[in-house]
Structure 1
Amino acid sequence: MGKKFFVSLSLLAVLGAGMSLPSAQALGATIKGKHASEGLGCADCHKTDKPTAAAGVEVCLDCHGGYDKVAALTRAMHNNPHDSHLGKMQCLKCHRVHAPSEILCLECHSDFEFKDK
């Protein structure tokens, strides 16, 4: 009885740990969370504290230095999502403001690995 209970409990713990891992297509960070940790608020990108629409990609690129600089910053990644065969993409294709970011590459390249910072 004791051994079966221990094995069952161990199995449940292992399965539960696996269920708490992030999905293959989502990372935990949000733009809002990352920017807030840097002391930025909505008005820094949207020019208002109560935005009704996404800021344009040009706002992202102004602060982050443009597509080429972003690609250079992530060049050490084995699969650089900022230098892909899809070319220069809108930032919000992957990065989310109020939800975990999703990696568009993983829709086709399920074997790629990306780590959340």
Structure 2
Amino acid sequence: MLHRENSIRQYHTSSAADLIKETMDFYQITQTDLAARLGVSQKNISDILKRKRFINELLALRIETVMGISSQLLLNLDANFKLHQAKENAKNSEPDHQSDKFLKRYDWVSA
């Protein structure tokens, strides 16, 4: 199903949208057809593919039924992608908290 000529991305830079889009391209599935099969709007599919929206558990299960892609894989891809985004955003933003305790670790924390 996956194109072997595509380079493998690090897990946190891929989202469920990437895997769904690749499958759609390979099987020439339109957004309209997929939306009808999943019971959602074409705009919903478009937003997911553009990463404006992420899939939820119910939609992941529907995609698994319709496309044969593991719902667990889809949800993990999105969770890793969103966590990576949050980490990047946290690095690039200044804390606006005045407390001297903000993000100060407890003594017993070693990680």
Identify whether the pair has TM-score above 0.5, normalized to the shorter chain. no
Larger Rg: 1
Q: Which has the higher helix share?
A: 2
User: Which structure carries more relative contact order (alpha carbon 8 Å, separation 6+)?
Assistant: 1
